Structure 1
């Protein structure tokens, strides 16, 4: 929750879950990335990925580059601006890590290993 509240307060553009997932996939996994490959990894249609890419490209977070070897392929990569956005988001995750203080209520039985960073790495394992 702390990460999302920090994100809302940050003034960065509001991304949908789908846009964020695509940006994280491209930014944190080995490429090259294509629309077809992203659609397959997320189990969504290519038009769904294309719409998200259009928004991310308009924000300057991702760019499309035609493959010089095979003009039919278009590779997706993170821009410098997109990389800075991901770094700020990572910093929000790190700052919102729970204190080692005793937990109460609904969080009392939750292990520290299930915090945001652990969840992010399990996200990466699921999409890999």
Structure 2
């Protein structure tokens, strides 16, 4: 039975950490297919990682961060869409449609930026979310 050398096992572990943290952030792209259920991906990563004996604090932090960011984005976009729909009754809401689209795309782009930063081993923290998680 082949065994891994400690150096090879460490390299695989570092690669797994990078992969899981990147997937947690980049899972925001699943919003195009899964809608608001895209946040299940970082939630699964977070919950499965925190119960492991050799859990990585980096994966735990980034998966939690990605989950709460996606939750906040879905809630904010939901409120903005409902507000736009209600204001469309008096025509003002039609002017908010481009704002809703741009805000949604900007939110997704920020999540992708986070995934790219993490995949390049650069530190990344969502502005308010990281402070909330660490508190």
TM-score normalised per structure 1 = 0.28
TM-score normalised per structure 2 = 0.27
Higher Cα Rg, which structure = 2
Q: Choose between structure 1 and 2: higher strand proportion.
A: 1
Q: Choose between structure 1 and 2: higher helix proportion.
A: 2
Give the structure, 1 or 2, with the largest relative contact order (CA under 8 Å, sep 6 or more). Answer: 2
